[in-house]
Amino acid sequence: MKGAILTVLIMAVLVGACIHPRAFTFASDSFLGEIYVDLIKPDYEAGEALEFYLKAVNGKIDTSIPFDITLQLHKPDGSVVEKQFKRINELCVRPRGEWRRDCKIVPFEKVPVWWHHSYQPVLDQAGIYRITGSSDSGAVRVRDYSFTVRSERINSLFIPDEIAGYKLRGKEKTLRFGAYGMSSDLFQALYLSDELLEPNSVEHKEIIVRIAVFNSIQSGQYGATTTLAGQTITLTQGFGFTGAWPSGVYLIEVWGHEFGDNEKQFIKAYLVKYPSSLR
């Protein structure tokens, strides 16, 4: 009787395994290790590039197998952006005086990640973001990681409406530049016109607005000046034009292809929002 019961149980298990091929899972030799996210900065602001390190959980993943990592960035609104990083455990060096590169697979410890697209940053919302991911084979796993992006200061800096035929197409927070002082945060926005640069061109006229935010009020003379709407700005023309002026803690710079009536109207709109401190 016991033998019959045992036979029935064995048959039931076998049938179940046939119906569900994943019913039995065993520790696989193909599992290489785990990776975690280590943010380069303590906090982030909407509009800037996402920078972090991918690091091996136990200090090192020792394998001779090259692997790719695919990450998913889950945004506060529920949307997901995916990006693949190829052969992250491959080290390539170029011998002195040669163009060729020698590449080899090395034990993985860490790799820097810079995730950004010009004027279309992935951190475009305020709220909680989450990073997930794994290698394509599943042999390397990425631990889930969550972080918070601060309120969208970038939205308050730029005029969102169409100005003199120019429409806002993208905005971002960029790296700090010495030309604006190391104590400044630099933001920029791209505006595009429906008007073409040339009659047979595929490029449209554009204007780039840069706004540097300082810790203290800016003043001083910045070059040759002109007057628009009763206010003083600096104006240089050559390869396009650049109009610039300080306004309190802000330094505004407007660049465009040509300095025509529409472009003058564009600058006047920003002079209303940021009155010039130049006299």
> DSSP letters along 22-70, please?
TS-----TT--EEEEEEESSS-EETTBPEEEEEEETTS-B--SS---EE
**For residue 152, pLDDT beyond 90:** no
95-127 pLDDT, tens digit per residue, is: 887 888 889 999 999 999 999 888 889 999 999
Between 216 and 177, whose confidence is greater? 216
Beta strands at 140-150 and 44-45: parallel, antiparallel or unpaired? parallel
Rounded Cα gap, residues 251 and 12, in angstroms: 76
Q: Which of 76, 187, 186, 56 is nearest to 125 (CA)?
A: 76
Q: Please give the backbone phi and psi of residue 65, each rounded to the nearest 5 degrees, phi first.
A: -95, 125
**Other beta carbons within 10 Å of 113:** 19
Element (H, E) at 127: strand 127-135
**For residue 11, pLDDT beyond 70:** no
Q: What is the mean pLDDT of residues 249-256?
A: 94
| C-alpha distances in Å from residue 218, one per residue of 226, 247, 275 | 19, 7, 12
| C-alpha distances in Å from residue 39, one per residue of 55, 89, 141, 186, 189 | 10, 19, 18, 21, 26
pLDDT above 70 covers what percent of the chain?
Answer: 85
Q: What is the mean pLDDT of residues 17-21?
A: 36
Walk me through the domains of the chain, giving residue ranges and CATH numbers: 33-150 (2.60.40.1930), 153-273 (3.40.1000)
Which of 112-121, 129-138, 261-270 shows the lowest per-residue confidence on average (mean pLDDT)? 112-121
Q: The pTM is what?
A: 0.76
Residue that the structure tokens 């706004």 belong to: 211
Q: Which residues of 162-182 are buried (b: 16+ CB within 10 A; e: fewer)?
A: ebbebebebbbbbeeeeebee
Per-residue confidence band for 61, with pLDDT thresholds at 50, 70 and 90:
very high
**For residue 175, pLDDT beyond 60:** yes
Rounded Cα gap, residues 48 and 171, in angstroms: 9
The length of the chain in residues reads 279
